[in-house]
Chain A
C-alpha cells in the first residue's frame, strides 16, 4: 500500500490564482481530513469527509472547498489564493469505527505571493 499520497509537493501561486491540492489513499479508509500547518503551530482542520459524497467544515474552512466523489480521493480547492493561505497542507485518513488513528500524507508546501 502507498498509504496517503499528496501532489504536488511544492507550489508557488500568485494572488488570485486557483489550484487543487490532490490527496489519495489506498487503504479503503472512510474518513479523510485536510489540515494546514503554519510555522510554529499545530495542525488546524480545514475540512473533513466521512465518506463519498459527505463533507463538512473544520476549524478554518474559509477560502477552501472540497469534494469527495470516491472513497480514495479527497481534493482541496483554493479558488482565489491569498497570502494568508501560504502554509503546509496535510491530508490524513482514518479507517473510522472505533479506531481513531489518523495517517498523514507527506504534505504540500504552498506559497502565495
Chain B
C-alpha cells in the first residue's frame, strides 16, 4: 500500500521560531490533509489541499500541495506554546472507489520552549 514519509520525527524549538515539516510519498495523491493531535485527543484538521501547487493558509499555518502530487509541506510561523502537539500529514487518492480513505504519515512531535 501507499506509504508516507514525514519529517522530521520531532522538533524542539524556541517560542517565536518558525517551523517547517514535510511529507513525501512514492504514490500520487489527489488530496493532502494536515492534522494536529493534542495529548489525549483525536486529530483535528488544520488544512486541506485539493489541487497540485495549491498554497493555503490558516492563521499562522501555511501548507502547500506539491506540483508532483507526491509531497506536501506545512509551515508554522512565530510559534507559540500552544502549538505543541503531534502534526500528521495524510494523503488521499480520491475518486469514487477510494471512499475517503486516508494514508497517514508517522507524525512530527513539536515541542515549543517558552
Residues of chain A at the chain B interface (Cβ within 8 Å): 4, 31, 33, 40-45, 48, 50, 56, 58-59, 90, 92, 94, 96, 100-107
Check B100–A41 contact: CB distance below 8 A. Answer: no
Q: Is the CB of A31 within 8 A of B42?
A: no
Task: Say whether A90 contacts B101, CB under 8 Å.
Answer: no
Could you tell me the distance between the alpha carbons of A104 and B35 in the complex, rounded to whole angstroms? Answer: 10
**B1 CB-CB contact with A under 8 Å:** yes
Bound Cα distance from A64 to B48, whole angstroms = 30
Smallest CB-CB separation from B30: which chain A residue? A100
Most buried by A among B4, B6, B45: B45
8 Å CB interface, B42-95 against A: 42-45, 48, 88, 90, 92, 94
State the 10 A-B residue pairs at the shortest beta-carbon distance, nearest first: A104-B42, A42-B104, A94-B100, A43-B104, A42-B106, A31-B100, A104-B43, A100-B31, A100-B100, A100-B92
Q: Let me know if B100 and A106 touch, CB within 8 A.
A: no
The residue that B42 contacts in the complex, of A42, A44, A56, A105, with Cβ under 8 A, is: A105
